[in-house]
Each structure stands twice: as C-alpha cells, then as structure tokens.
Amino acid sequence: MDWQVSEDTVPSAPVTEADTRLMAGRPPASGAWQDGDPVGSRRFAWLGPLTTERGDVIPVTRLAYESWGELNEDRSNAVLVLHAFTGDSHVRGPAGPGHATAGWWEDIVGPGGPIDTDRWFVIAPNMLGGCQGSTGPASIHPDGDHWASRFPYLTIRDQVAAQDRLAEVLGIERWAGVVGGSMGGMHALEWGVTHPDRVARLAVIAAPPQNSADQIALNSTQLEAISIDPGFAGGEYYEAQAGEGPHRGLALARRMAMLQYRGTVELNRRFERSWQSNVSPLGHGGRFAVESYLDFHGNKFTRRFDANSYIRLVEAMDSHDVGRDRGGVEEALGRVSARTLVVGIDTDRLFTIEGQHRIARGIGTTIHGDDAVVIQSDFGHDGFLIETDVLGDRVRELFAE
C-alpha cells in the first residue's frame, strides 16, 4: 500500500530507502539534531541572549536556517518562509545526511516556482524551541547539560522576535514577503501585525487568528500522552538508551495530531474498513489498515523529533492570539499593511476556514477581497502541502507584483 505522510513532509510518497534507514534499530531517546551530526544544508545564526515575554532569559540563542537563490545588492528580494509545527528549515532538497525527510514545499519554492528562487532569496529558519538546529530543549545549556525541562515557555511572539533577530543578523530591513502555513502561518500573521512596515507581501495559509478552546483541549491530550510515558522522566531523558526514552508517548501524540491534520473524506476513502493482514477482523493478531498507517507515522516521527520540543511548540501554538493586548483580533488585524493572501482548506478540521475568513476581513488588504481563498481538498489541514498546484497559482499571483 502507498503510505501518505502527514502535515510537514512530502505527501503521497511511498516508503523510501530513506524511510527504511530512518526506522532501523530501536527509537532514540530524542530524534533532535545535535551538534556533531551531519550539517546538511543548514546554516547557523547566533543571535545573542533573548528574553521571552515571561521574562526568562535564553543566554545563547541560535537559529538554524537554509536559503535558496541570491540576495540582491540592496537586500530587497528576501522572502521568509515559515514552517509548520513539526517541520523544519528543509523546504527543498532530498533526504540524506543531516535531513531525515525530503523538502516539504518543493512545488512552491524553487527555480521558476510560485516563489521563484531565480528572482527571490528565500530563507527558511527552524523555529526557536525546535529540534533541528535551533536553540531548544535538546540544546546544550551553558552549564554543559541539556536544557531539557528547564527550557522556558515560549510564545509565538517570542519565536517571531528570534526571527526578527535573524533578519538583523542577515542585514534584511524589510521582507519582500513573509509566507507561512499552519503554525508558520501564525508566525507570518504576527509579522504582519507586529512589523507592518517591514513586510511587503504576506501569505497566511491554513492558520487561525487565535487558538480556540477546542484546539487547546485537543492539544492538551497530546501533551498528556507524552508526559505519562515513564520514559519521559519529567523531561530529563537525554541520557537514556535507545528504546528507553519517551517514544511511546511521542508516537501516540503524533497519532492524535494526524487525525486533525487529515480529512475525514480522505481517510475513509483510502482505508475504508480494509484489513492490514490476512487475519479476520473477528479474530486476533491482525489490524485495520488505518491503524497500521498511524503506527507507521507515529514511529517514524520519533526518529526525527524531540518530546520536549513537541511540548514547548504546542504551548507556543496555544499562546497564539493576535489580538492579545492589542484591543482584540480585529483591532490587531487592522495594523497589517502588506499585500496579503489568506488561504483556507474547506475540509480543515484543525484550523477551520471561519478563522481564515476572519483574518481576511480584518486585514482588508487581501488580494481576493474580504474573504479568504478556499481550496477544496479531501486532505484536510494537510491540503496546503498537497494541493500545491492550486495553492501555487495563488502564491504566484501574490508575488507577481
């Protein structure tokens, strides 16, 4: 059967040789990239100390990033691409040393693409708190141990502040475009509201104006799945042997999340009530195909992600409320001055299209009027990674002027 991967990896792909290598052996205590691992296409920016909204200080802050294209002389052609919750900076390129998965948006970013790297200089950072080279819980604290459970609570605004520092380090005063999907769309929206004069074009894709109580509730079950795994050990698991870390809880959290990322129509159509083995559903020892699908991706996920990062990033998503301390959502959205594209997926059950319509109406400068562009897709939230032909046309339109 062909396995489709979820949210932040290449969709509709069969199990590859890279998958087979990744799944070999017992799951590591953490799938985080660590110093000393192959660098791959990463570059690193050292940002100095960063103080969070809560007043916690990260004394040494680093963002890993990748880039494509050439920065022009006046640095006016830089585009910031922001990844989803469990994504990373690897927008383009094959899986290989340093990169567990292939590029997640190659149909959108590249030579001649909707974000044309023959014209634009594209930068994609791994977000603060992530586990693919940026400072996060798996990073080494100045005292020589892992940050682990000591890593501070982060907000979306803290992560955007780190991206702002990255722009400063790279000498980019104004972005030609800021583009993000899902959690990256939260970052993009914050950029448009916090720094309206520094964003020429803005694309907010499959992201809400604020995380709702329903979304926070669903997220809380994923965090509980991780925390009750005995291997989690309160977040202090980095010295554990392979197979002894919180891989069961992390895999279960991923399975829960995938049910929000995928569409009901797509899951029912693909799997129906098909059985994964020759054993009858009335007997013992067999599994429904959809169960096997979720297991495969949950287990694969533990090889490339970190449980503490998962928790900190979920907390950051839960903090998202573009109207907080700004007079409410509509008041905040009114600050955006960029030429803006807002896109929703009609079957998205994670961030429903009502949220994208609210963003579009509040901004008032969208390229399609007062409503968001709605993409029809059976794939649910993951549609923004799968329906790249339709989405690409809209993104190309945004960057045409």
Q: In CATH, what number is assigned to the domain containing residue 383?
A: 3.40.50.1820
Number of structural domains found in the chain: 1
Q: Write out the chain's pLDDT in tens, 401 residues.
A: 232 333 333 233 455 555 555 555 789 999 999 999 999 999 999 999 999 999 999 999 999 999 999 999 999 999 999 999 999 999 999 999 999 999 999 999 999 999 999 999 999 999 999 999 999 999 999 999 999 999 999 999 999 999 999 999 999 999 999 999 999 999 999 999 999 999 999 999 999 999 999 999 999 999 999 999 999 999 999 999 998 999 999 999 999 999 999 878 788 888 887 777 655 555 556 778 888 888 988 999 999 999 999 999 999 999 999 999 999 999 999 999 999 999 999 999 999 999 999 999 999 878 888 889 999 999 999 999 999 999 999 999 999 97
Is residue 353, in this structure, part of any structural domain at all? Answer: yes
Per-residue pLDDT, 290: 86
Is residue 218, in this structure, part of any structural domain at all? Answer: no
Using the structure block, give the residue that is written with the tokens 């660098």.
39
Listed in sequence order, the DSSP H helices in 149-288 are: 156-170, 183-194, 213-227, 247-261, 264-271
Strand, helix or coil for residue 339: strand
* Rounded-to-integer distance, Cα 99 and Cα 362, Å: 38
Is residue 360, in this structure, part of any structural domain at all? Answer: yes
Is residue 391, in this structure, part of any structural domain at all? Answer: yes
Is residue 372, in this structure, part of any structural domain at all? Answer: yes
Catalytic, 348? Answer yes
The residues, any chain, with a CB within 8 Å of residue 30's CB and separated by 6 or more, are: 131, 138, 237, 238, 245, 306, 307, 308
Is residue 137, in this structure, part of any structural domain at all? Answer: yes
Report residue 133 as tokens: 């080279």
* Rounded-to-integer distance, Cα 391 and Cα 197, Å: 26
Active-site hit among 348, 377, 378, 382: 348
* Rounded-to-integer distance, Cα 298 and Cα 296, Å: 6
Per-residue pLDDT, 9: 30
Is residue 333, in this structure, part of any structural domain at all? Answer: yes
pTM over the 0.85 mark: yes
Burial class of residue 139 (count of CB atoms within 10 Å of its CB; 0-12, 13-18, 19+): buried
Catalytic, 182? Answer yes
Catalytic, 76? Answer no
Domain that holds residue 122: 29-211+320-398
Strand, helix or coil for residue 199: strand
* Dihedral sign for Cα atoms in the order 367, 66, 301, 318: negative
Question: Is-contact 114 393, C-beta < 8 A?
Answer: yes
Active-site hit among 41, 99, 381, 382: 381
Active-site hit among 6, 67, 182, 292: 182
Q: Calculate the CA 392 to chain-centre distance.
A: 19
Per-residue pLDDT, 170: 96
Is residue 384, in this structure, part of any structural domain at all? Answer: yes
112 phi and psi angles, rounded to 5 deg: 75, 0
Using the structure block, give the residue that is written with the tokens 């609210």.
358
